């Protein structure tokens, strides 16, 4: 055995250089063949490879050879960019400015964000963004510009940074003549600031703009629909397909202007009503009927946030609205016993029975039973496909909805129910319901979820509480028994 090992070792020592050379030749041939494969790949395929990489990896790949370096400069690689300036480091700021310096002409989709800025971050945000927009000025032809949650009224208290940023924005918007999408949701500008920006946008991109997202562009308390500059600016948009707007920015006059100019194109209108939004004005059913005639493809989405009073809801929900999506978050109020939520749901059932497709309810109703109104609604609204409820409900109602869906009496593709303040017995019944129907509903293509929202004090002395999700935690019964 020892002799055999010695012989093998001597053979390896003698032939090892030759074997190593053969391996090196084989490796070079493999690399050459691999290089040949990359060499013959079309540029479009290589650009797709670049698109899958992070910026640092793109840069490294661009240094491999001259061809890759040329592809690294391809405009297609730099069409879309997202920057979050909320807590951006100095290095990230430099990279952002470097991008603007080198690729401004290539950029087509720009998404910016800066959430909940402080005084310090406001100042940095303004300086960085002003410099960045200066690089883009007169070089970039954007198709999409988005900068949500600027919240001028809440955080931008210092006039110098505020004025400089507004000046940069207005100068930039004035040069963009091919925008298809503009999003400044929750900017919370003053009436003068917002109107001037909308006026510039209408002049520059009014003919091309298809999607306009200006929910809470103005401070909620303003009655912007009365502003003549605003009305004049709205008339400049000729191609809108989708419009998201707050209730204090629409009126009978505003809607007629929009319908006359965008009647052939407008398909989606979303209206947001916040509890602090000015909403004392009404839009008559006759105006809505005319709007529906002028915009035959129009579908309306309405969102109520912290508004639960029956009188206020019905003032806005006119019978002639082509409503397909309704979201009501009642919020919490010590006067919730006067809201008459059941009356609201019955009104919705009767008024929008042939149009409503999506309903989302988050209701504070500990003193009002809404089971009967909800039973009536799911039967009455024949086109309802999505139902989300977070409220005080009985398990009997959930059973009825499950039976209706199981027997093809209703045709939901999404059913999410969160029941508040359930008892141990209710929880057990809900668990059985879920086990009984979840597979059947999945086979029907229905996204089905039953949950509890159970908040109970575990230690009053230290204020410790437990929030238990029915779907994820099977130990709720044991907790309740403690």
Per the structure, the count of domains in the chain is 1
Q: Specify the DSSP class assigned to residue 381.
A: -
Comparing 335 with 471, the larger pLDDT belongs to 335
Q: What's the pLDDT band for 333 if we cut at 50, 70, 90?
A: confident
What's the pTM? 0.85
| Residues 2-14: tens digit of each pLDDT | 445 555 445 445 5
Neighbouring C-alpha atoms within 13 Å toward the C-beta of 315? 14
User: Is 342 within the bounds of a domain?
Assistant: no
User: Is 362 within the bounds of a domain?
Assistant: no
Measured distance CA(395)–CA(403) in Å, rounded: 12
- Closest-CA residue to 370 (of 403, 402, 404, 336): 336
- Of 237-241, 308-312, 469-473, which range is least confident? 469-473
User: Is 237 within the bounds of a domain?
Assistant: no
Measured distance CA(372)–CA(380) in Å, rounded: 12
Measured distance CA(340)–CA(357) in Å, rounded: 23
Please enumerate in sequence order all residues whose Cβ is within 8 A of that of 297, keeping only pairs 6 or more positions apart, or say none. Answer: 266, 267
Q: Average pLDDT of the chain?
A: 85
Q: Are 148 and 183 in contact (CB under 8 A)?
A: yes
- Of 74-78, 344-348, 427-431, 447-451, which range is least confident? 74-78
User: Is 48 within the bounds of a domain?
Assistant: yes
Domain residues for the domain of 68 are: 44-76
Backbone angles phi, psi at 248, to 5 degrees: -75, 0
């Amino acid at each position: 055995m020892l002799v055999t090992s010695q012989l093998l070792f001597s053979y390896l020592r003698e032939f090892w250089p030759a074997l190593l050379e053969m391996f090196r030749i084989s490796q070079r041939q493999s690399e050459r063949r691999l290089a040949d494969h990359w060499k013959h790949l079309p540029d479009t395929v290589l650009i797709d490879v670049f698109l899958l990489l992070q910026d640092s990896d793109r840069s490294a790949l661009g240094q491999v050879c001259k061809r890759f370096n040329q592809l690294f400069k391809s405009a297609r690689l730099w069409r879309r960019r997202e920057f979050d300036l909320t807590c951006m480091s100095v290095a990230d700021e430099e990279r952002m400015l470097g991008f603007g310096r080198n690729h401004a002409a290539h950029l087509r989709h720009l998404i910016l964000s800066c959430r909940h800025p402080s005084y310090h971050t406001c100042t940095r945000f303004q300086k960085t963004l002003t410099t960045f927009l200066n690089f883009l000025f007169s070089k970039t032809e954007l198709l999409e510009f988005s900068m949500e949650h600027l919240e001028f009224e809440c955080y931008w208290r210092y006039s110098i940074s505020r004025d400089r940023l507004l000046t940069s924005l207005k100068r930039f918007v004035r040069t963009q003549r091919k925008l298809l999408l503009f999003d400044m949701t929750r900017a919370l500008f003053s009436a003068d600031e917002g109107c001037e920006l909308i006026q510039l946008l209408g002049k520059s991109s009014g003919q091309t703009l298809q999607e306009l997202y200006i929910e809470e562009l103005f401070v909620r308390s303003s009655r912007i629909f009365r502003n003549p500059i605003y009305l004049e600016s709205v008339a400049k948009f000729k191609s809108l397909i989708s419009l998201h707007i707050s209730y204090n920015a629409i009126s009978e006059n505003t809607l007629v202007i929009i319908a006359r100019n965008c009647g052939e194109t407008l398909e989606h209108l979303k209206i947001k009503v916040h509890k602090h939004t000015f909403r004392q004005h009404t839009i008559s059913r006759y105006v809505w009927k005319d709007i529906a005639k002028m915009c035959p493809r129009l579908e309306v989405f309405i969102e109520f946030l912290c508004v639960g009073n029956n009188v206020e809801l019905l003032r806005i929900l006119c019978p002639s609205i082509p409503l397909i999506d309704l979201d009501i978050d009642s919020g919490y109020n010590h006067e919730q016993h006067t809201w008459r939520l059941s009356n609201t749901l019955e009104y919705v059932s009767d008024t929008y029975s042939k149009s409503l497709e999506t309903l989302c309810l988050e209701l504070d109703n500990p003193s009002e039973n809404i089971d009967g109104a909800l039973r009536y609604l799911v039967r009455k609204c024949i086109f309802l496909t999505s139902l989300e409820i977070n409220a005080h409900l009985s398990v009997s109602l959930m059973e009825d909805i499950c039976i209706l869906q199981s027997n093809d009496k209703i045709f939901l593709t999404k059913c999410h129910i969160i029941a508040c303040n359930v008892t141990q017995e209710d929880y057990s019944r809900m668990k059985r319901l879920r086990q009984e129907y979840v597979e059947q509903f999945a086979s029907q293509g229905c996204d089905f979820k039953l949950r509890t929202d159970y908040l109970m004090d575990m230690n009053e002395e230290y204020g410790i509480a437990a929030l238990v999700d029915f779907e994820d935690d099977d130990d709720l019964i044991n907790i309740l028994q403690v």
